[in-house]
Structure 1
Amino acid sequence: MVQKADLVIIGICVGLAAGILIASLVFFGIRWYRKRARLRQRENERSPSTLPIRRNGLNTSVDFSASLSSSVTNGPTEPVQKPQHSWWNNHNKDRFASVSGILRYSYKDIQKGTQNFTTILGQGSFGPVYKATMPAGEVVAVKVLASDSKQGEKEFQTEVSLLARLHHRNLVNLVGYCVDKGQHMLVYEYMSNGSLENLIYNDVEQVLSWEDRVQIALDISHGIDYLHDGAVPPVIHRDLKSANILLDRYMRAKVADFGLSKEELFDGRNSGLKGTYGYIDPMYISTNNFTTKSDVYSFGIILFELITAIHPHKNLMEYVNLASMSLDGVDDIIDSKMTETCNVEEVRSLAKIAHRCLHKTPRKRPSMGEVSQAIVKIKQQRRRLVKEDTMSFVGEDLSRTVSRIECQQLELRRMASIEERPNE
């Protein structure tokens, strides 16, 4: 009887243990399945916006992937992208437009707005850019994907996906897009003062004051700082240059041409060298590893363009390196159009920031947030000097006024004393 009871107890214990084991396996199996489902969902959501893209608006970007990548990496080349527009099937297009809030224009609207594509603003490797007035009256810039554009379909897809979620006052705003009648077009806010490159190097255009140049540098730094530290995940522009900085009617600078931009996902895969000659980080050329500090290097080049008005294609870095041999060497390469009006100390301060951005070791370059703070200090110093000058002027003017009043009072006393003498 005792043996049977023991067997019953043992059976119950074994059953409980087996039940607990099965329940545990089911529980952990469900958790694993849900985790895999979440990861798969995130990958699907992220996939459109992690493609390398390049927007070549009013000026041309150079793609070095074909000519230089073979000399840097021996890895397999990227597969050729299919020309089919599978990403832009009707279901995805309508769903994307409703989620992002970006307008989808018809070919007819853009054709009418551009006066049958005659109001051309510029030409890039992506295709031509036109000025358009849309049905609601807004003025926009329309970038049309040329039929022979290299990597255009890929750029088009990811630029819409990326800019749909990036919103900052110093980034050019994507208004809408058009996929109609076999055409692919991107619609942007119209920047009436064109590119920074044109303003610096075109003698016909207005001369940028030093104050404008400092503000432009600050605007650019804010835009890139947002991409690096404000966007989730962070975004690397990869094609910063003066031609890709556009200015609105208030002369506020906005970063444009996100054609080569990619999210900062370090997956160990290289895509070949891409960028524009003169602005590319030398470390990127030697390692094929592009980071946020590579954007910082390109920004340093733009700062020296603002200071010197010497294009990188015209040996800018040779002038900069020669000037760096002395403490005040930058004074000799200041843009001659503003030498009489700029503050030399401020120019030297901005040149120091640019030199830090161009440091040969990427980790020793400042972040864009640190660059923004340094430029803000230059502006604050300017305001303080202006305030001191104003107070000094007011003080001198007040002193002269008091002195004049005292002289008038003395004159009145003298005249009064003269009038009193005959009565005596």
Structure 2
Amino acid sequence: MSVRIELLLVLIFMHVLLTSGQNQDVVYLQALMDDWQNTPPNWVGSDPCGDKWVGITCTGSRVTSITLANIDLSGELSGDIGQLSELQTLDLSYNKRLTGSLTPDIGKLKKLKTLILVGCSFNGPLPDTLGSLPQLGYLALNSNSFTGPIPPSFGNLTELYWLDLADNKLSGRIPVSDGATPGLDLLVNTKHFHFGKNKLSGEIPSQLFSSKMTLKHVLFEDNELTGTIPLTLGLVQNLEVLRLDTNRLSGEVPPNINNLISVNQLFLSNNDLNGRLPNLTGMNVLNHLDMSNNSFEASEIPLWFSSLQSLTTLMMQHTGLQGEVPVDLFSIPQIETVVLRDNKLNGTLDFGATYNTHLRLIDMSNNLISRFILGSRYSADLIFIGNPICMESEESKAYCDQPTGSNSPYSTPPSNCVPANNCSFGQVSSPKCKCSYPYTGTLSFRAPSFSDLGNSTIYTSLQSSMMDSFESNQLPVDSVSLSRPTKNKDDYLEISLEMFPSGDERFNRSGISRIAFVLSNQTYKPPHIFGPYFFIGNNYDSFADTPKGKHGSVSIGIIIGVSVGACVLVLLLIVAGLYACRQKGRAERATKKNSPFASWDPDKGNGACPQLKGARSFTFEELKTCTNNFTATTNIGVGGYGMVYRGTLPNGQLVAIKRAQHHSTQGGLQFKTEIELLSRVHHKNVVSLVGFCFDEDEQMLVYEYIVNGTLKDSLSGRSGFRLDWMRRLKIIVGAARGLQYLHDLADPPIIHRDIKTTNILLDERLNAKVSDFGLSKPMGDVDRTHVTTQVKGTMGYMDPEYYMTQQLTEKSDVYSFGIVMLELITARNPIEKGRYIVREVKEAMDKEKDMYNLGEVLDPIIGLNTQLQGLERFVDIALRCVEDTGNQRPRMSEVVKEIENIMELAGINPNDESTSTSASYEGKSKGHDHPYLNQSLFTYSGGLLPSSADGK
């Protein structure tokens, strides 16, 4: 008997150990879910592996894959993702409402092999920690809004196969190693460098390329790269596609580029390349050649053009060509398009007797052609506009008109059936003539090898290959339709794609996510002639209802197991010891998280319990621990709400904890208002609510710790930072964007009601963050124009129209923001010694004089010895904000746009990141108190405040 009991204890203990990792992953998945909206409806229960949550794949009890592409997720990717230590695949592509910066904690995922975030709205710099993922093989971050440089640490990704950073706002130089730091030249196993459509600058480093590289695609188009094409590029023998077009490259094309015998797409157009045209006779498989709009030496069309037997497209617009066009040029076996416009070609254009019937377009515009000879079977579009022949020959008139463009666009025809004409709203008739709701998007091919967009055969092959791929991957796709093939300004081929569901008229979330994953991770390979591609999916608004899991009857074995477990519970506690206690505490915390306001009492005048969207619940014990029992050394402030403490969470994050006074008459209302509103807002210029505590009769709010005080501190000199004109503009545009987000993008829209310089905080980079939502009001659908409410706020900043009518509008915030703008340039309190800042500025103004004659009222620190570009326009928009009536004031979106224009006028990029740290900026901090020390940060709820400048 004792042996059986021991065996049972061992089994139970092993079960606890095995499920501990699962329980841990559940906690972090729940934390991610708290930061996201519109998660799959079957994300319920406590076991994402056993309950088969959509998009979650497990190995055993650990989460190893998250694929949630194109299901309309919104929110941010929090640092909790870094705790899923077994994660190997993360794909959140095509969720256009996923925003915010990419958390550095993603660098903790040491087993991550695939990271795909294509077509989202992530922004900010790429974290350097991405370079610490030793197993990463596939990194696709294209089509977002990332800024800043490419981290040199990417050179550590020795397993990387695919690197796609295209279509962002990345800037700076391409990093290479220098012995102390890594660089992209170390990525000898990488096949794809897709960096197009960014703002990369500087020369292409010669060190970037070597004979060790295995690159197939080098796509650097549409950047700001300068200098010459490096000679080392000719060493990359595996290269198939090379795009260096639309940069600022100069100098001669290196002659050894002819060694790239595997290249089939070569784009060098729209640069300032000079010297002789390069000889490319070694490129036997070249399909597409574009060297247009460069400054090559004047020369005749080289005879080696005719030796490129695989050529389909020849683009040589504005390249200094002269003399007659060789007859052999039109006999290249596969040639479809020849564009030789804007040159000095002359004489007779003779197509000869053996010209290629594949020809679809010959553009000879703006040359000196005086005569032409056509064969009897010639049928291509021929354009002679701007040639002497159009003035001298009647037979050429048909070719001298402006081209009308292509005929009717291609669209996949029905498959031997009659298209349905009775489809419901939103439905489309599929190629199989069935009404259903298709999943749609755009396929973009960065370098197709053909130019005949009217060739239905190539689209039929594309359609067939897609269906073969979908079927082999067991995806729920019945048919696909392709339509509207067009070339965009980047010379990408764009095709509209519709995918129709099989077995039903709608896709479910799992189906959409699986299809999107096959397209985002390049599992689907199109026919070779289409070249490198990417897909951007559209939102799918017609998801089929996800059936709830069926709960069968409990088996006898389970009942016996539960019974046995109950019988040996005491023994289990003895065996498990402290571990079991820890698990019990975790379970209690989970219960409190699920229902943290069970004890909320609406009869205390605080209304119904808070309605939250994603705030983390802390226990009193957790916050007691992270503040060292709320000791005096961690106390950083006091206000009308209560005490404020600095704390350190277990993950090392610094937080500021506002702890309400017991029996406070205003604490409950402010607690509810701030927690409800801040749990819904996510923006880099709005202070983040980390969580809250409603436990053991405590009410606490946990914020991110903002290290550099309030804007008021900096203007008054208390912080020690010297704010010049450039820095002030960057701060004010950040604050304006935060306020615009509250008005236009928050759901529901929010009126702050207490905008002032003490409620604008500055982080470690001196970026502005709007804070303190204790007086804020959400705008529901029934009160979109105004909210009639008791007047509250801070004297000096308060909208006089709101004060008189008690009708609160978004324009009330605009008025307050105008006061902040005036305070920014004067460093004066709104009301100082009985004088009002608006009146002071207006009385001093003289628009006929330089800087509106405001030298006497401007803050001397702003830099009067320098030219304050845009100051007058800044004052103009500030005074528009403080007009007497709301209908005369601009919206915050207009204010943001005008400040951005002012910054550009001052030579400042409004989208540039702030200084790397505040320590790098002139005037290090004097060790000022934390911003939460300022009592004015805590909102007074007793109506009008004392008549001081900041409400103290």
The two structures share one fold, judged by TM-score above 0.5: yes
Structure showing the higher strand proportion among its residues: 2
Q: CA 1:149/1:241 → structure 2, altered by over 3 Å: closer, same or farther?
A: farther
Q: CA 1:135/1:87 → structure 2, altered by over 3 Å: closer, same or farther?
A: farther
- Deviation, structure 1 residue 170: 0.7
Q: CA 1:322/1:185 → structure 2, altered by over 3 Å: closer, same or farther?
A: same
The aligned counterpart of 2:239 is: none
The aligned counterpart of 2:794 is: 276
Whether the aligned pair in 2 keeps the contact of 1:210 and 1:341 (CA below 8 Å) is no
Matched, 1:286 2:804: yes
Q: Distance in 2 between matches of 1:150 and 1:123?
A: 16
Q: Distance in 2 between matches of 1:378 and 1:269?
A: 33
- Deviation, structure 1 residue 83: 2.4
1:164-198 CA distance string (max 9 Å, x none)? 11111111010010112211000011111011111
Matched, 1:354 2:875: no
Q: CA 1:313/1:269 → structure 2, altered by over 3 Å: closer, same or farther?
A: closer
Matched, 1:370 2:894: yes
Q: CA 1:338/1:184 → structure 2, altered by over 3 Å: closer, same or farther?
A: same
Q: CA 1:338/1:259 → structure 2, altered by over 3 Å: closer, same or farther?
A: same
Matched, 1:220 2:735: yes
For residue 789 of structure 2, what is the amino acid of its counterpart?
A: S
1:314-358 CA distance string (max 9 Å, x none)? 132332231235541323211012234553342222111101111
Q: Which range moves more in the overlay, 204-213 or 169-178?
A: 204-213
- Deviation, structure 1 residue 122: 2.2
Q: CA 1:218/1:194 → structure 2, altered by over 3 Å: closer, same or farther?
A: same
Q: Distance in 2 between matches of 1:358 and 1:188?
A: 31
In structure 2, which of residues 827, 830, 833 is the aligned counterpart of residue 312 of structure 1? 830
1:112-169 CA distance string (max 9 Å, x none)? 2223322222222112221111122110111111225332212212321211111111
Matched, 1:333 2:857: yes
Q: Distance in 2 between matches of 1:246 and 1:198?
A: 9
Q: CA 1:110/1:226 → structure 2, altered by over 3 Å: closer, same or farther?
A: same
Q: Distance in 2 between matches of 1:384 and 1:156?
A: 39
The aligned counterpart of 1:107 is: 620
Q: CA 1:282/1:230 → structure 2, altered by over 3 Å: closer, same or farther?
A: same
Q: CA 1:203/1:85 → structure 2, altered by over 3 Å: closer, same or farther?
A: closer
Q: Distance in 2 between matches of 1:378 and 1:161?
A: 35
The aligned counterpart of 1:127 is: 642
Q: Distance in 2 between matches of 1:332 and 1:84?
A: 50
Q: CA 1:203/1:233 → structure 2, altered by over 3 Å: closer, same or farther?
A: closer
Matched, 1:201 2:719: no
Matched, 1:155 2:640: no
Matched, 1:380 2:904: yes
Q: Distance in 2 between matches of 1:269 and 1:367?
A: 17
Whether the aligned pair in 2 keeps the contact of 1:235 and 1:262 (CA below 8 Å) is yes
Matched, 1:229 2:744: yes
In structure 2, which of residues 839, 842, 851 is the aligned counterpart of residue 321 of structure 1? 842
- Deviation, structure 1 residue 248: 0.7
The aligned counterpart of 2:700 is: 185
- Deviation, structure 1 residue 84: 7.4
Q: Distance in 2 between matches of 1:149 and 1:351?
A: 42
Q: TM-score, normalised by structure 1?
A: 0.66
Q: Distance in 2 between matches of 1:102 and 1:204?
A: 31
Q: Which range moves more in the overlay, 152-161 or 303-312?
A: 152-161
Whether the aligned pair in 2 keeps the contact of 1:330 and 1:348 (CA below 8 Å) is no
Q: Distance in 2 between matches of 1:113 and 1:209?
A: 37
- Secondary structure at the aligned position of 1:344 is classed as coil
Matched, 1:297 2:815: yes
Q: CA 1:369/1:317 → structure 2, altered by over 3 Å: closer, same or farther?
A: same
Identity %: 39
- Secondary structure at the aligned position of 1:332 is classed as coil
Q: Distance in 2 between matches of 1:84 and 1:203?
A: 39
- Deviation, structure 1 residue 269: 6.4
- Secondary structure at the aligned position of 1:132 is classed as strand
For residue 317 of structure 1, what is the amino acid of its counterpart?
A: V
Q: Distance in 1 between matches of 2:715 and 2:905?
A: 25
- Secondary structure at the aligned position of 1:311 is classed as coil
- Deviation, structure 1 residue 301: 0.3
Whether the aligned pair in 2 keeps the contact of 1:293 and 1:367 (CA below 8 Å) is yes
Q: Distance in 2 between matches of 1:231 and 1:206?
A: 32
- Deviation, structure 1 residue 203: 4.3
**TM superposition outliers: structure 1 runs of 4+ over 6 Å:** none
- Secondary structure at the aligned position of 1:383 is classed as coil
- Deviation, structure 1 residue 233: 2.4
For residue 294 of structure 1, what is the amino acid of its counterpart?
A: S
Q: CA 1:312/1:269 → structure 2, altered by over 3 Å: closer, same or farther?
A: closer
- Deviation, structure 1 residue 110: 1.3
For residue 277 of structure 1, what is the amino acid of its counterpart?
A: M
Q: Distance in 1 between matches of 2:770 and 2:626?
A: 25
Q: Distance in 1 between matches of 2:607 and 2:792?
A: 26
Matched, 1:343 2:867: yes
For residue 766 of structure 2, what is the amino acid of its counterpart?
A: M
Q: CA 1:329/1:120 → structure 2, altered by over 3 Å: closer, same or farther?
A: farther
Q: CA 1:271/1:151 → structure 2, altered by over 3 Å: closer, same or farther?
A: farther
- Secondary structure at the aligned position of 2:662 is classed as coil
Q: TM-score, normalised by structure 2?
A: 0.30
Q: Distance in 1 between matches of 2:718 and 2:787?
A: 44
The aligned counterpart of 1:15 is: none
Q: CA 1:269/1:292 → structure 2, altered by over 3 Å: closer, same or farther?
A: closer
For residue 299 of structure 1, what is the amino acid of its counterpart?
A: F
Whether the aligned pair in 1 keeps the contact of 2:614 and 2:680 (CA below 8 Å) is no
- Secondary structure at the aligned position of 1:331 is classed as coil
Whether the aligned pair in 1 keeps the contact of 2:725 and 2:863 (CA below 8 Å) is no
The aligned counterpart of 2:407 is: none
In structure 1, which of residues 230, 247, 259 is the aligned counterpart of residue 774 of structure 2? 259
In the alignment of these two chains, the number of paired residues is 297
For residue 367 of structure 1, what is the amino acid of its counterpart?
A: R
- Secondary structure at the aligned position of 1:171 is classed as coil
- Secondary structure at the aligned position of 2:854 is classed as helix
Q: Distance in 2 between matches of 1:218 and 1:269?
A: 27
Structure showing the higher helix proportion among its residues: 1
Unaligned runs of 5+ in 1: 1-80, 386-424
Unaligned runs of 5+ in 2: 1-601, 910-952
Q: Distance in 2 between matches of 1:205 and 1:122?
A: 19
Q: Distance in 1 between matches of 2:886 and 2:607?
A: 39
Q: Distance in 1 between matches of 2:845 and 2:665?
A: 40
Q: Distance in 2 between matches of 1:172 and 1:262?
A: 17
1:266-302 CA distance string (max 9 Å, x none)? 5586331100010001111111111011100000000
Q: Which range moves more in the overlay, 327-336 or 301-310?
A: 327-336
In structure 1, which of residues 155, 161, 165 is the aligned counterpart of residue 680 of structure 2? 165
Q: CA 1:359/1:183 → structure 2, altered by over 3 Å: closer, same or farther?
A: same
- Secondary structure at the aligned position of 2:640 is classed as coil
- Secondary structure at the aligned position of 2:656 is classed as strand
In structure 2, which of residues 651, 655, 659 is the aligned counterpart of residue 140 of structure 1? 655
Q: Distance in 2 between matches of 1:185 and 1:326?
A: 50
For residue 377 of structure 1, what is the amino acid of its counterpart?
A: N
